[in-house]
Amino acid sequence: MSVQYIGKQSICFNNPPKILCGGCVAGEKESQGPLGQGQYGNTFDEVVMDPMCGKNSWEEAESELQYMASNIAIEKSGLKKENIRYIFAGDLLGQNMATSFGVGSLGIPLFGLYGACSTMGESLCLAAMTISGGFASHAMAVASSHFASAEKTFRFPLGYGSQRKMSATWTVTGSGAVILSDTSGFAKITAITPGKIIDYDFKDKENMGAAMAPAAADTIYHHLTDLGIKANHYDKIITGDLGYVGQTILIDLLKEKDIDISKVHMDCGIEIFDKETQDTHSGGSGCGCSAVVLCGHLFNLLKRKKLKKILFIPTGALLSPSSSNEGLSIPSIAHAVAIEADS
Amino acid sequence: MSVQYIGKQSICFNNPPKILCGGCVAGEKESQGPLGQGQYGNTFDEVVMDPMCGKNSWEEAESELQYMASNIAIEKSGLKKENIRYIFAGDLLGQNMATSFGVGSLGIPLFGLYGACSTMGESLCLAAMTISGGFASHAMAVASSHFASAEKTFRFPLGYGSQRKMSATWTVTGSGAVILSDTSGFAKITAITPGKIIDYDFKDKENMGAAMAPAAADTIYHHLTDLGIKANHYDKIITGDLGYVGQTILIDLLKEKDIDISKVHMDCGIEIFDKETQDTHSGGSGCGCSAVVLCGHLFNLLKRKKLKKILFIPTGALLSPSSSNEGLSIPSIAHAVAIEADS
């Protein structure tokens, strides 16, 4: 064992884990957006037109999305599910309900995670450490969200027809699963920067982008500082679901630290929906947002070498229905994962 | 990097991480039990007589317990908090509310976990992999629960004065924090067996012991099989919070596989309350239950060499208020951590 940590909070892998494959499933609305039909064609492995996925509740539907995405990834990998040693997975629901009923039935040892919309970053960090540390030859990272289960949990029942603020985002219905390997893949995870909680005492749950931007700024700042690199080291620095409002704040916050990411910044929440036609206000959000954009669109670009080095930073707003109702702030967190296409 | 995994789901560390110290805080009722006053004296580092911990809500009180336990552990370690590279933490509340508002303010990178009452096992597994893999020199594992925040979440508001079934357990008010180190400690983690979800389609949320016993049995079985050892390899095999009902089922289930743990089994939920005088029915439960028993009582016994080898298996019932209300089963999970006193 040799020391692999660097700076304040980053890890550079001596033995970078490989990305073997990903699987993703998205809902109807996502399929009608730029990543479902547009210049890139359909970037999702599967599209589910029934929002209930043939189940009895929104939560069970979300579980089904996780199960489907995981099975697609396993099928693509050519492995048997028994070869996936550990799963790292989470969702937005209380007590990780979509995960427990989703990937539970695969019969693979599970680490349940809660990082809100940062979950795909958290799960990739832990799966990468697991592979690089020699604790498994294959591990899977999974995250999901569902528009209806999230609205029910954090906002209002859909039947109320509540109006949404222009700063609000639209929770993506979808799930992504990534299989990491110690031997082969089309890309590798070279470094990670797990984030710490940042709390600016911001309380508007209809403006998650503003709540999460400071956490993204902090993690990006520490990542670049720890590794001694500039923003242009990466072809793209890709946040999870800051949306239009959060993007502006993130760029401004980093400018205060003399870091300019404006030319390389991309946000999964901005990419997934069409601003003009889809009525999603500030953009997409949810654990599933960065998960499906990564496993579909971004993996495609890495495979085709259209992107060679990216920093992927899913962002999470750690509010709960109780914390909102009790008038507390929205603590946020962001985990960064540096990915390089195989040369 | 060399392969450290063994059998179906276990890891044996080439470089066993050390347990540097633990910190624990418990509530008034816990302080009146066998581990607060009895043959072992007071095994808790601190006892909080005010169930609100001076805060405005049960959730904030639970956050305060996590903050206190973490600070006690950090103080005992002689480290500065900046030296703790990562925290692995979770609780029972929706969206990990106690954790986000509890250890968030420490400013240490955080991996939020959801494993219900198995959280202390999950966090120790991940912290151990992190240290052993060379990804940090110090990491902290934290878990908490609070009687009132848990009752409010999973059962009825306390004011209703609802009657409890005899198979029900009493959620422990408390938090435990363990600091692992790559260099020094009074004990070491030699192996782990992360668990998979086991679901027997059991639905009675007032009988968590029965729901979780099959998960404990599965993890213990695989741990012993993977490592090729017998139950009597350990001085004690210690489950988290099966209580009296779950203990009976666990012993029976393992007997069916020709494994007899009856002579070495201990359950934190049975240890923490007095059956005759404290009216806690089947015993104690909650993430805090196994956390405070480990950080207080068990660490004391390991330090005094009264115990030399233990297998610690916190057990979690992965139900949520939604899954219960929607009539779903209670999937369960258990993670095993093998601990040896320094010889």
Joined together, the tokens standing for residue B154 give: 């999973």
| Over residues A87-99, mean pLDDT | 97
B274 touching A (Cβ < 8 Å): no
A127 touching B (Cβ < 8 Å): no
A33 touching B (Cβ < 8 Å): no
**Shortest CA gap B115–chain A (Å):** 6
Q: What is the pLDDT of residue B228?
A: 98
3-state secondary structure of A289: helix
pLDDT at B302 over 70: yes
B270 touching A (Cβ < 8 Å): no
Q: How far apart are CA A231 and CA A225, in angstroms?
A: 10
B151 touching A (Cβ < 8 Å): no
**Shortest CA gap B219–chain A (Å):** 10
Q: How confident is the model at residue B1 (pLDDT cuts 50, 70, 90)?
A: low
> Mean pLDDT, chain B, as a whole number?
97
- Are A131 and B127 in contact by the 8 Å Cβ rule? The answer is no
8 Å CB contact of A323 and B196: no
Candidates B116, A226, B115; CA nearest to B126 is B115
Each residue's pLDDT tens digit, A276-322:
999 999 999 999 999 999 999 999 999 999 999 999 999 999 999 99
Using a CB-CB distance cutoff of 8 angstroms, which residues of chain A are in contact with residue B318?
Answer: 95-96, 100, 104, 112
Of A95, A116, A136, the CB nearest to B5: A136
Of B109, B132, B319, the CB nearest to A133: B132
β-bridge partners, A316 = A333
Q: What is the pLDDT of residue B239?
A: 98
8 Å CB contact of B101 and A323: yes
B92 touching A (Cβ < 8 Å): yes
**List of residues 6+ apart from A34 with CB closer than 8 A:** A40, A271, A272, A273, A274
Q: How confident is the model at residue A159 (pLDDT cuts 50, 70, 90)?
A: confident
Q: How far apart are CA A85 and CA A81, in angstroms?
A: 8
**List of residues 6+ apart from B255 with CB closer than 8 A:** none
3-state secondary structure of A172: coil
Q: What is the pLDDT of residue B97?
A: 96
3-state secondary structure of B1: coil
**Shortest CA gap A105–chain B (Å):** 7
Of A5, A56, A86, the CB nearest to B136: A5
Q: What is the pLDDT of residue A324?
A: 92
8 Å CB contact of A133 and B133: yes
Q: How far apart are CA B274 and CA B267, in angstroms?
A: 13
Q: How confident is the model at residue B32 (pLDDT cuts 50, 70, 90)?
A: very high
Q: What is the pLDDT of residue A112?
A: 98
pLDDT at A73 over 70: yes
| Over residues A330-339, mean pLDDT | 98
Q: What is the pLDDT of residue B343?
A: 78
* CA within 13 Å, CB half, A56: 6
Each residue's pLDDT tens digit, A256-281:
999 999 999 999 999 999 999 999 99
Q: How confident is the model at residue B280 (pLDDT cuts 50, 70, 90)?
A: very high
**Shortest CA gap B99–chain A (Å):** 10
8 Å CB contact of A104 and B331: yes
Joined together, the tokens standing for residue B117 give: 């009452």
| Phi/psi at A13 (5° precision) | -80, 125
- Pick the residue from chain B with its C-alpha nearest to A321: B94
Using a CB-CB distance cutoff of 8 angstroms, which residues of chain A are in contact with residue B328?
Answer: 60, 101
| Over residues A218-243, mean pLDDT | 98
Q: What is the pLDDT of residue A3?
A: 80
**Shortest CA gap B32–chain A (Å):** 30
B7 touching A (Cβ < 8 Å): no
- Residue pairs between chains A and B whose CB atoms are closer than 8 Å: 205
| Over residues A223-243, mean pLDDT | 98
Using a CB-CB distance cutoff of 8 angstroms, which residues of chain A are in contact with residue B321?
Answer: 94-95
Tokens 């260099």 map to which residue? Answer: B183
**CB within 8 Å of chain A, chain B residues 178-207:** 194-197, 199
8 Å CB contact of A95 and B318: yes
Q: What letters, b where the CB count within 10 A reaches 16 and e where it falls short, cover B30-57?
A: bbbbbbbeeeeeebbbbbbeebebeeeb
The ipTM (two decimal places) reads 0.98
pLDDT at A343 over 90: no
Interhelix angle B119-132/A119-132, rounded to 10 degrees, is 50
| Over residues B169-174, mean pLDDT | 97
| Over residues A322-333, mean pLDDT | 95
Q: What is the pLDDT of residue B184?
A: 96
| Over residues B43-67, mean pLDDT | 97
Residues of chain B above pLDDT 90, percent: 95
| Phi/psi at B24 (5° precision) | -145, 150
Cβ neighbours around A19 below 10 Å, total: 29
B314 touching A (Cβ < 8 Å): no
A157 touching B (Cβ < 8 Å): no
**List of residues 6+ apart from B63 with CB closer than 8 A:** B55, B97, B98, B99, B100, B101, B102
Residues of chain A above pLDDT 70, percent: 100
8 Å CB contact of B4 and A57: no
8 Å CB contact of A95 and B114: yes
Q: What is the pLDDT of residue A1?
A: 56
